[in-house]
Amino acid sequence: MASLKNANKARARSHRERGQVESRAHLGFLEKKKDYRARAEDYQRKQNTLKFLKRKALDRNPDEFYFNMVKTQKTEGVHQERESTEPVHTEAELKLMYSQDQRYINMKRTSELRKIERLKSSLHVLDSETKPKNKHTVFVDSEKEAKDFDAAKYFNTHPALVNRTYNRPTLETLEKDRMGGDLDETDIEEMVRERDSKYSELAKRIEREKQLNVIHQKMETKKHLMRQPNNFPEPHRKERRGSPTTLGYSTHSRTLTVRTQRRHAQNDMQMVQGTPNHIETSNINDYT
């Protein structure tokens, strides 16, 4: 029976929803039930949000304080948070971040040094025009021979192998090892490209290591400066009641206060001895 029902379903007509009529084709697809449900749910959600906000506005206490009253401001009719005047990071956090950055720079510099050493050790079988030139002096009998000098002919080797300062095989050796006859121009060009790319990479890594070293030195200097206590301003401290003067905040102000107290003590001693010497506290900067 189950197979018969499935066979009847296969022969049954598939019912499809009605499409948009031609006269209303300019309005787009005909809205189906699922489209209506999505639109209705979105509309109800928005209405509920507006209803909640209206009730919240009606129930608001006008005398209640909110922190957003002092933390926000209106800019062109839009509420925006004000920039905080408090420091984002403390002194200890800044020192920690600088130390972490310095360790990262050291790690990258060490990695570059290892790669440079690895490249240098692998380039002992390569040669390039970027490496330092070695002098090979060849003596000739006349200036004409010097002008017509052919290094490949003189060393009896392939022209592509003339710049080698080591393991420069002769043509006989190349022919004996079946390298001279089978060595075509494409292989030579590939060897030259590989050689130049290796030395180009080495030059770039050396330059990058120099830049990392400069950054490391600058960060080390900044770290030493941060360790000194006078590089950070001290917090504001009011003078105690009864002090001769009330000056600003810093180590310099406390030094001036001590000097003022000493001056007042000297004035008291002189007045006791009969030789008053009046010194205005407002002219304290004259004695610093």
Give the pLDDT confidence of 32-85 residue by residue, as tens digits: 899 999 999 999 999 999 999 999 999 988 888 888 788 888 888 887 887 766
Per residue in 112-143, pLDDT (tens digit) is: 999 998 888 877 545 444 455 567 788 888 88
User: How many C-beta atoms lie closer than 10 Å to residue 173's C-beta?
Assistant: 13
Q: Using CA atoms, how far apart are residues 217 and 210, in angstroms rounded to an integer?
A: 11
What pLDDT does 85 receive? 64
pTM exceeds 0.85 = no
Per residue in 175-224, pLDDT (tens digit) is: 776 544 555 677 777 877 887 888 889 999 999 999 889 888 888 888 77
Where is pLDDT greater, at 69 or 87?
A: 69
What number of CA atoms fall less than 13 Å from residue 9's CA on the CB side?
6
Q: Does residue 285 surpass a pLDDT of 80?
A: no
Q: Using CA atoms, how far apart are residues 238 and 245, in angstroms rounded to an integer?
A: 10
Q: Using CA atoms, how far apart are residues 202 and 190, in angstroms rounded to an integer?
A: 18
Contacts of 222 (CB under 8 A, 6+ apart): 98
147 residue type, one letter = K
Q: Using CA atoms, how far apart are residues 161 and 31, in angstroms rounded to an integer?
A: 79
Mind giving me the DSSP string for the chain? -HHHHHHHHHHSPPP------GGGGGG-SPP-HHHHHHHHHHHHHHHHHHHHHHHHHHT--TT---THHHHEEEETTEEEEPPP-S-SS-HHHHHHHHHHHHHHHHHHHHHHHHHHHHHHHHGGG---TTSPPPP-----SSHHHHHT--HHHHHTS-GGGTT-SS----HHHHHHTT-TTT--HHHHHHHHHHHHHHHHHHHHHHHHHHHHHHHHHHHHHHHHHHHSGGGSPPPP-PPPTT-S----SSHHHHHHHHHHHHHHHHHHHHHHHT------GGGGGGG-
What six digits make up the tokens of 44?
Answer: 């109800």
- What residue ranges do the domains of the chain occupy? 91-231, 234-288
Please state, in angstroms and as integers, the Cα–Cα distance from residue 150 to each residue in 108, 141, 145, 156, 205, following that order: 46, 14, 9, 10, 35
Exposed, middle or buried, 219 (CB in 10 Å: 0-12/13-18/19+)? Answer: middle
Under a CB-based contact definition with an 8 Å cutoff, are residues 209 and 113 in contact? yes
Average pLDDT score over the chain: 73
What pLDDT does 282 receive? 42
Where is pLDDT greater, at 247 or 136?
A: 136
